[in-house]
């Protein structure tokens, strides 16, 4: 496929560098922690802001068709380039791979700025497909950094640092439409300034990628160098992924993997985008993504420290998420019965609607908790999610009745719980791996085969 960049060659030789003299300063630019914070800031600016943009419902437009088609194209290409991204990373290293990926987020936000004036969705659909390619590159680079830079005994805390910074992007991003559209209570679509601000954040994230160091230049506190990730070639990745679908463990987790991104369409478009006015939907996103931070931390504690037995922790986590899911979707059904035809005449406002705002707000907040808890549980087992999201956006595009959409989402998550419990019972072992072994607690097989040291963690979240 051609010659590799100098940066990629430096990564390939990292393992030969051996240990170096332990550095004197604790927090250094070339330390794993500094680089994890940096990639967290990159994702804060790009997929974090994308999450805030999507969370408004319809990408901030009153007509959701453009966003639905764009997101269908996005998740379709992302499902492909989530595999191919590793090959690009091998060739060009972290900086160029991350920069190429982040640049596509700017294009996507710009396509909705264009739509504000031309109402031609073709640009948005093309930009969505390009973003799917870029998201595959971005998450390939992010996954390589999170797998190889931290010391084996500190990976959990470093991952927590990354996800906290990343999810703050959705929180801060929710404030952008809230502030810039605060006085536009009767407006149908967000103003140009909202999209321009998102584009500025995303452009900043793209520029920050040039500060990311290759593995050969990252030195841990004990003086050892970061290990270089080498993704296998595309054909090997494709073969290994195909094999997954003949594995009984993968078949048990498949409904949960499908469901874990499927419900975004209903929650964003048909709850937050439909029930609330612009400024309130932006404010809701602040709490939705804040709830994600709380939910992921809570279920993470249960799955890591809930009890001594790994298998019992799995059962406890499934029971906790199932209870939260039943309560959230039950509340969602009660709320959906108030507008079964999908028509909500009076948009709710956090300031003017009083008690009428409280119930739908708490429901949307609980959806954020459920999303984080459910996805974290899936990650504890395995993470393959993009295909479900691609279908879900078309379900909404075809005007599927909202009660049917809610029923499908509830059914998918509910069916997942007994299958995940069976997977924990049959595949999770109680033996505790040594702290530095790098072994994953995942019950299902890895998403794809990679030749690397230490072994891979489950794949990160999709484009959001």
Label residue 107 by pLDDT band (50, 70, 90): very high
Label residue 110 by pLDDT band (50, 70, 90): very high
Q: What percent of the chain has pLDDT over 90?
A: 23
Query: Is the model's pLDDT at 395 over the cut of 80?
Result: no
Distance CA 401, CA 397 (A): 11
- In this predicted structure, which of 148-157, 366-375, 392-401 has the lowest mean pLDDT? 392-401
- In this predicted structure, which of 83-97, 102-116, 447-461 has the lowest mean pLDDT? 447-461
The pLDDT of 24-53, averaged and rounded, is 86
Please give the pLDDT value at position 324: 93
Please give the pLDDT value at position 232: 59
Distance CA 77, CA 386 (A): 9
pLDDT in tens, 420-430: 788 777 766 66
Task: Give the three-state DSSP class for 183.
Answer: coil
Q: Taking the domains of the chain in order of start, what are their residue ranges?
A: 6-13+23-451
The pLDDT of 176-180, averaged and rounded, is 86
The mean of the pLDDT values for the chain is 76
Going from the C-alpha of 416 to that of each of 252, 376, 378, 379, 423, the distances in angstroms are: 8, 14, 10, 14, 10
Please give the pLDDT value at position 182: 84
Task: Give the three-state DSSP class for 451.
Answer: strand
Structure tokens at 240: 């290994």
Task: Give the three-state DSSP class for 307.
Answer: coil
Please give the pLDDT value at position 282: 87
Residue 421 phi/psi, 5° resolution?
-65, -40
Query: Is the model's pLDDT at 255 over the cut of 60?
Result: yes
| CATH (residue range 6-13+23-451) | 1.20.1250.20
Going from the C-alpha of 275 to that of each of 127, 176, 293, 360, the distances in angstroms are: 28, 19, 24, 8
C-beta separation of 201 from 45 below 8 A: yes
Label residue 386 by pLDDT band (50, 70, 90): very low
Query: Is the model's pLDDT at 3 over the cut of 50?
Result: no
Please give the pLDDT value at position 204: 97
pLDDT in tens, 218-242: 887 777 776 666 655 656 666 666 6
The pLDDT of 87-109, averaged and rounded, is 90
Query: Is the model's pLDDT at 246 over the cut of 90?
Result: no
Q: Which H helix or E strand runs over 230?
A: strand 230-231
Q: Which of 123-137, 178-192, 340-354 has the highest mean pLDDT?
A: 123-137
* More confident of the two residues 331 and 273: 331
Cα first-last separation, the chain: 30
Distance CA 107, CA 100 (A): 11
Task: Give the three-state DSSP class for 19.
Answer: coil
Structure tokens at 12: 């390939």
Predicted TM-score (pTM) of the model is 0.70
Structure tokens at 232: 């296998």
The pLDDT of 437-456, averaged and rounded, is 38
* More confident of the two residues 37 and 341: 37
The pLDDT of 33-54, averaged and rounded, is 92
Dihedral sign, Cα of residue 91, residue 167, residue 327, residue 394:
negative
- In this predicted structure, which of 34-48, 147-161, 206-220 has the lowest mean pLDDT? 147-161
* More confident of the two residues 307 and 120: 120
Distance CA 142, CA 352 (A): 42
Q: What percent of the chain has pLDDT over 70?
A: 71
């Amino acid at each position: 496929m051609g010659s590799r960049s100098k940066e990629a060659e430096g990564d390939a030789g990292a393992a030969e560098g051996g240990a170096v003299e332990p550095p004197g300063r604790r927090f250094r630019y070339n330390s794993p922690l500094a680089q994890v914070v940096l990639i967290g800031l990159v994702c804060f600016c790009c997929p974090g802001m994308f999450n805030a943009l999507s969370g408004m419902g319809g990408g901030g437009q009153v007509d959701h068709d453009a966003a639905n088609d764009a997101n269908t194209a996005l998740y379709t290409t992302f499902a492909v380039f989530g595999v191919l991204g590793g090959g690009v990373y091998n060739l060009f290293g972290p900086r160029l791979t991350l920069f190429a990926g982040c640049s596509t987020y700017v294009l996507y936000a710009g396509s909705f700025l264009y739509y504000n004036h031309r109402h031609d969705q073709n640009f948005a659909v093309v930009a969505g497909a390009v973003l799917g390619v870029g998201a595959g590159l971005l998450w390939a680079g992010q996954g390589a950094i999170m797998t190889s830079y931290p010391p084996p005994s500190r990976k959990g805390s470093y991952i927590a640092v990354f996800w906290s910074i990343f999810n703050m992007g959705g929180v801060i991003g929710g404030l952008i439409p809230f502030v810039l559209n605060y006085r536009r209570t009767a407006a149908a679509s967000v103003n140009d300034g909202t999209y321009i601000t998102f584009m500025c954040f995303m452009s900043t994230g793209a520029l920050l990628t040039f500060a990311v160091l290759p593995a050969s230049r990252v030195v841990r506190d004990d003086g050892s160098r970061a290990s270089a990730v080498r993704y296998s070639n595309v054909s090997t990745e494709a073969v290994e992924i195909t094999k997954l679908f003949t594995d009984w463990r993968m078949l048990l987790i498949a409904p949960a993997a499908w469901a874990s991104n499927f419900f975004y369409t209903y929650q964003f478009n048909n709850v937050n985008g439909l029930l609330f006015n612009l400024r309130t939907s932006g404010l809701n996103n602040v709490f939705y993504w804040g709830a994600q931070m709380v939910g992921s931390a809570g279920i993470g504690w249960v799955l890591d420290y809930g009890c001594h037995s790994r298998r019992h922790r799995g059962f406890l986590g499934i029971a906790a998420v199932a209870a939260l899911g039943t309560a959230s979707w039950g509340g969602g059904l009660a709320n959906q019965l108030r507008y079964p035809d999908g028509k909500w005449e009076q948009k709710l406002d956090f300031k003017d609607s009083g008690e009428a705002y409280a119930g739908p707000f708490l429901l949307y907040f609980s959806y954020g908790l459920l999303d984080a808890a459910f996805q974290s549980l899936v990650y504890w087992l395995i993470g393959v999610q993009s295909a479900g999201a691609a279908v879900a956006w078309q379900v909404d595009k075809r005007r599927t009745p909202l009660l049917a959409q809610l029923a499908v989402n509830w059914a998918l998550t509910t069916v997942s719980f007994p299958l995940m419990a069976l997977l924990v019972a049959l595949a999770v072992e109680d033996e505790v791996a040594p702290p530095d072994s790098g072994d994953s607690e995942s019950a299902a097989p890895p998403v794809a085969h990679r030749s690397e040291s230490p072994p891979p963690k489950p794949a990160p979240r999709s484009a959001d």
